[in-house]
Amino acid sequence: MTEFGQHDRSLEELFADAALPAIDDAGVGVSEIDAFYFGNAMGGMTENETHLAPALATHLGMQGIPCQRFEDACATSSNAFKHAVEAVEAGRHDIVLVGGVERCTPETGLDTGVMTRVFASASHGQYEQPTGLTFPGVFALLTKRHMHEYGTTEAQLAEIAVKNHSHGQYNPHAHFGRDATVEDVLESPIVADPFHLMDCCPFSDGASAVVVAAPDRAESFSSTPVDVTGIGHRTDAVPLADKADLTETRAARQASTRAYKQANITADAVDFAEVHDCFTGAEVLATEALGLLKDGKGGPAAAAGRTRVDGEIPVNPSGGLKAKGHPIGATGTAQIVELTTQLRGDAGKRQIGDASTALAHNLGGDAATTIVTVMEAHA
């Protein structure tokens, strides 16, 4: 993956900087790749570029193979990954390239108001957008209900931002990372209450890519493969007022149940998780929905340090979306990159000791799309 941050180059050039190292890491030739599963959420709106998959394949010397582009808001490249894994599992392809790219910073020439509107396009056009709902607003609605039901506090949310910023400083690809304090978070401007600016992930540019291969082909690769042992993908109602419950994030519960069943594990077996912390409150909802923490305990557990990289259930060792950054279409496969790096034992100062089972949770829109992936170190 590329560093997440601000990039002033084109989507195909940015994506090549993630894809070619991934291909080289696997040690495969471009001619051996027999399909391309690609994610980009907003290029049509932000860069006036659509039909990107064959253009990017051409730029990488892969023209001619089947290429497909996915769009599922922030879960875009996880959905590409799911389809790639299922196609390989079904024997339709042997070696595929999966990845995503997005530019969200002012490098596109678009300011905060325009980008806030572009992000809001993932909310309902007739029944949500006319109220002026924003994406910080969407997750604020979910989080304030959680605060009402369970007593989660702004200070507990701030602890999550502090943790993920702390983790991010050890990730060379992260957009941000530093030692911050709860006071820093609570004193930053309010975007949509209860979220302060530092509760929110940044607008980022970046790209990520992985190579998915059939087990027999992966054995011949030059690098250590890791195993994908479960993927669950579920959706919930849109508009969000139609959801039966705003705090359960039902799609995440159903997707993780499916992924755990496929992997033949329970939540207790997960050594660490990368979860979709677009806002601090989203990490609380995710850790509970995934069964890593009991309902209502996401905030207190974070405040007690239980989800730090050295805690009992580390969450977002990469820094998460909060510190690593969130280039929408690149986020899903960037989580897969972090799982791979950790399971190989290559994560340096943020390495989780003896990590053998890991989980990625990537959501799209108002959590209506959720994809949960379980990966394990290669036996």
Partner 1 sequence: MSEPTDADKGPGHVKYEDWREHLETGTLLGVQCQSCGAVSATPKRACSGCGSREMAAIELPERGTVYSETTINVPPEDFDGTYQVGVVGLGETRLLARLRGAVDIGETVMFTGTIVEGDGPGPVFESAE
- By the criterion CB under 8 A, which residues form the site for partner 1? 112-114, 116-117, 120, 125-134, 136-137, 140-142, 144-145, 148, 189-194, 237, 239-242, 246
Q: Is the Cβ of residue 144 or residue 175 nearer to partner 1 in the bound state?
A: 144
Given a contact cutoff of 8 angstroms between Cβ atoms, the answer to whether 203 and 357 are in contact is: no
Q: Is the Cβ of residue 117 or residue 349 nearer to partner 1 in the bound state?
A: 117
At closest approach, how far in Å is the CB of 126 from partner 1? Answer: 5
Could you confirm whether 74 is annotated as catalytic?
A: yes
- Name, in order, each residue with C-beta under 8 angstroms of 130's C-beta and a sequence gap of 6 or more: none
At closest approach, how far in Å is the CB of 103 from partner 1? Answer: 18
Q: Exactly one of 83, 165, 233, 326 is catalytic; which is it?
A: 326
Q: Exactly one of 67, 74, 104, 200 is catalytic; which is it?
A: 74
At closest approach, how far in Å is the CB of 112 from partner 1? Answer: 7
Q: What residues are paired with 95 via a beta bridge?
A: 213
| Secondary structure of 318-356 as H, E, C letters | CCHHHHHCCCHHHHHHHHHHHHHHHHHCCCHHHCCCCCC
Which one, of 97, 101, 103, lies nearest residue 83 by Cα? 97
Q: Is the Cβ of residue 86 or residue 193 nearer to partner 1 in the bound state?
A: 193
Q: Is the Cβ of residue 81 or residue 279 nearer to partner 1 in the bound state?
A: 279
* Amino acid in position 67: C
Exposed (0-12), middle (13-18) or buried (19+): which is 227, by Cβ within 10 Å? middle
At closest approach, how far in Å is the CB of 369 from partner 1? Answer: 16
Q: Is the Cβ of residue 366 or residue 376 nearer to partner 1 in the bound state?
A: 366
At closest approach, how far in Å is the CB of 237 from partner 1? Answer: 7
* Amino acid in position 322: K
Q: Alpha carbon 347 to chain centroid distance?
A: 18
Strand runs labelled E in 214-308: 226-235, 272-274
Could you confirm whether 173 is annotated as catalytic?
A: no
- 266 phi/psi in degrees, rounded to 5: -120, 170
Helix (H) or strand (E) holding 280: helix 280-289
Q: What residues are paired with 304 via a beta bridge?
A: none
Residues annotated as catalytic are: 74, 326
